[in-house]
Structure 1
Amino acid sequence: MNRTSALGLLGLSEPIRAQDVQAAFRQRVKRAHPDLNGTDAPLRRLILARDLLMRQLRNGPDISEIIEELSDPAEPLRLSVETAVTGGGIVTDVPLPLELIHDAGPGRSLMHRKTLRITLPAGLRDGERLRLKAARPGGTEHVFRIEIERREDLHAEGHDLCLTVPVEARRLRLGGQVRVETPHGPQTVDLSDAVDNRLTLKGLGLPATARYPAGDLHLRFEAFETPMRPASDLLAEFHRKWA
């Protein structure tokens, strides 16, 4: 947004005074309220236009000045991998602009927060947009950008999941079955099927949705050494069992 577009948005023409900007803003701000438009974008643009013009009235007009508008109005919604897999209810706070108008002076732009309780579908992908429709006609609609948390042992890659599983080094060398806790629940896998300590479980990544296919679960087995127990501990345990 530049000076020309700010003037047009507020319905003003040169020359302008501070009281002209404030009066034009007050005339339009109520019609731009999020509850009337289903989004806070019109109110945000009005605030940007007013703030740009007021600043230039203080510092001198600058037709080359540009204020970048918010290109992605979606609020980040951070989910655990488990929630992305199974869906379910979460509670989150979202910011909303609140314009305080005073007849005797300039308005102040503040942000307040609103608590939302959301029921999420299973199979959300990282970066996906989730649109939450207003609960009542004329209410505010919210758009969220999904962010799936990345843990050291577990993260999402596209449709797939990657899980690091610690396994005792001796057990990893000998092979055999182990029980692995996954976002889909416990799974029994055979270490003998692993290649370079890696194993893929088909269809156990992020679940299929109307837009996306089911992903896979990629397991990486990480060996750890079991510390040797002192001989005195082994002898004491022997006596306890056979005393």
Structure 2
Amino acid sequence: MSEHRPASDVSGVREALAILGVAGDADAPALKAAFRSAVKSARPDQPGGDAERFRRVIAAYRLIQAHRPVRPALAAPSARPAPTPVLTLTPIQALSGGKVEVRLGTRTVRVTAPRGLRTGDHLRLSGGAADGSDLYLSVLIRPEDGLSVMGDDLFMSWPVERRLMADGGRVEIETYAGARSAWITADMAAPVRVRLKGLGLPARGSRAAGHLFVTLTPSSDTPSAAEDLLVRFTRVWTQERLAA
């Protein structure tokens, strides 16, 4: 039920606002500043002051305050929902799946992660909540062992001899899936990156298989093709001598 305010009160508030020189929509700081200015200029002990005007300023301020609507107290902040438990995977775990440990409060639970999970996916843990209800784990894939994941694709870097980077040719790259070769040309703009199709995260649901992108970095420490061949020959020769 709305409060009915007498006409005389409304008129008094308007007059009080005029005395302080503020509008009806003035906020509390503006009203207070106007009162201080008006009461200072009306003080009888100051030049130009007047006792009657001084009393009217004080009465006007009190009247406005009495008729200001009372603002409701701020409600107590609602409790924040508990953060969603995170299932943290390495790129290799995301590729192959397997058992992963997850910390749930004071408990440690072993979860079977299917292969091909992506960051942002949710894995349901049946009965995993404290009340026995299902729990949904948010998936996060962190970089590790030189591999990182973005979307469906994997990323890594591989050192290549500077001469080969300058002249172009076939590059042998050691990936998580074994050795792979790629061809580069001398006119490729830096950074030189090659794509190995199908070596990203495996297909899952509506998500197609990703690719492995390899950034080639020039290195003087990488052996040349001839040096690499000599190393392989020496290794095989040594093994044969030991077996003889």
Q: What TM-score range do you get, normalising by the shorter chain? A: 0.5 to 0.7
Higher relative contact order (CA 8 A, sep 6+): 1
Q: TM-score, normalised by structure 2?
A: 0.52
* Superposed counterparts of 1:162-241, under 5 Å: 162-183=155-176, 185-192=177-184, 195-196=188-189, 197-226=192-221
Verify: 1:82 aligned to 2:87, yes or no. Answer: no
> Take 1:82 and 1:155, find their aligned partners in 2: how far apart are those partners?
10
2:203 partner letter: A
| 3-state secondary structure, aligned to 2:213 | strand
Unmatched 5+ residue regions in structure 1?
Answer: 1-60, 96-112, 228-243
Figure out how many residues of one structure are paired with residues of the other and give that number.
147
Verify: 1:128 aligned to 2:125, yes or no. Answer: no
Contact 2:86 2:102 survives alignment (8 Å): no
Q: TM-score, normalised by structure 1?
A: 0.53
| 3-state secondary structure, aligned to 2:95 | helix
Q: Which has the larger radius of gyration?
A: 2
Contact 2:119 2:139 survives alignment (8 Å): yes
> Take 1:132 and 1:193, find their aligned partners in 2: how far apart are those partners?
49
The C-alpha deviation readout for 1:138-183, integer Å capped at 9, x for no partner, is 8343221111113584211111111111222223334444432334
> Take 1:193 and 1:81, find their aligned partners in 2: how far apart are those partners?
30
CA RMSD of aligned residues (A): 2.9
1:94 to 93, 104, 111: 104
% same residue = 32
More strand by share: 1
How far did 1:205 drift? 1.0
Unmatched 5+ residue regions in structure 2?
Answer: 1-71, 223-244
How far did 1:218 drift? 1.2
> Take 1:130 and 1:151, find their aligned partners in 2: how far apart are those partners?
21
Change in CA separation of 1:68 and 1:211 when aligned onto 2, cut-off 3 Å = farther
1:122 partner letter: R
| 3-state secondary structure, aligned to 1:69 | coil
